[in-house]
Amino acid sequence: MNPSLETRVSHENQFKSNGERKIADVLSKYGIPFKYESQTLVQDEQQKPRIWYPDFYLPTFGIYIEFYGLSGTLDYDYLRSRKLRAYQRTGLEVISVDGSKPLREFEGYLLNQLYRVQHKRFQGIRSHIYRLRSSTGQWYR
């Protein structure tokens, strides 16, 4: 599917919260294709496979975004930490967005988190290549 069409179609969805709409607006502003509530396979605490629907999936980056708009309540915070552990156990890269962020900070936070994840991946690849070259004694330009 054409990424720009995918973003445009997804953006017409009815979002479940104003925060999700803000995320979609930022992604659209920067031309970042996304899928809204795309099904994803995760492992729960008992290592059982489950289908969940994270708020956003960015296919270009292989990153998920979850919006947490009700932070601060005991039950909600527990479910949030449970969800994050399941994503981590499954090996998914997930950016958590807290609904308490002021609008002016929201865009910068989201873009910084995308950069952080991509930078971490790049550093990992670079370290791996360095270790391989060091172990074989071969250095290429």
Tens-place pLDDT, residues 111-125: 888 988 888 877 767
Residue 2 carries which side chain, given as an amino acid letter?
N
Domain spans in the chain, listed from the N-terminal domain onward? 3-136
pLDDT of residue 9: 44
**pLDDT by residue (tens digit) across 9-65?**
444 558 888 889 989 999 999 999 999 999 999 988 888 898 999 999 999 999 999
Find all residues with CB under 8 Å of 65, minimum gap 6, and list them: 23, 34, 54, 55, 56, 57, 58, 94, 95, 97, 110
Hey, what are 4's tokens? 């720009």
- Burial state string for 66-91 with b = 16 or more CB within 10 A and e = fewer than 16: bbbeeeeeeeeeeebeebeebbeebe
Instruction: Assign 140 a pLDDT band (cuts: 50, 70, 90).
Output: low
Cα separation, 48 vs 86, in Å, equals 10
Instruction: Assign 129 a pLDDT band (cuts: 50, 70, 90).
Output: confident
- How far, CA to CA in Å, does 121 sit from each of 30, 87, 109, 114, 140? 21, 17, 18, 11, 21
Query: At residue 6, does pLDDT exceed 70?
Result: no
**pLDDT by residue (tens digit) across 27-37?**
999 999 999 99
Its pTM stands at 0.74
pLDDT of residue 12: 55
pLDDT of residue 13: 59
Please state which architecture CATH assigns to domain 3-136: 3-Layer(aba) Sandwich (3.40)
pLDDT of residue 63: 93
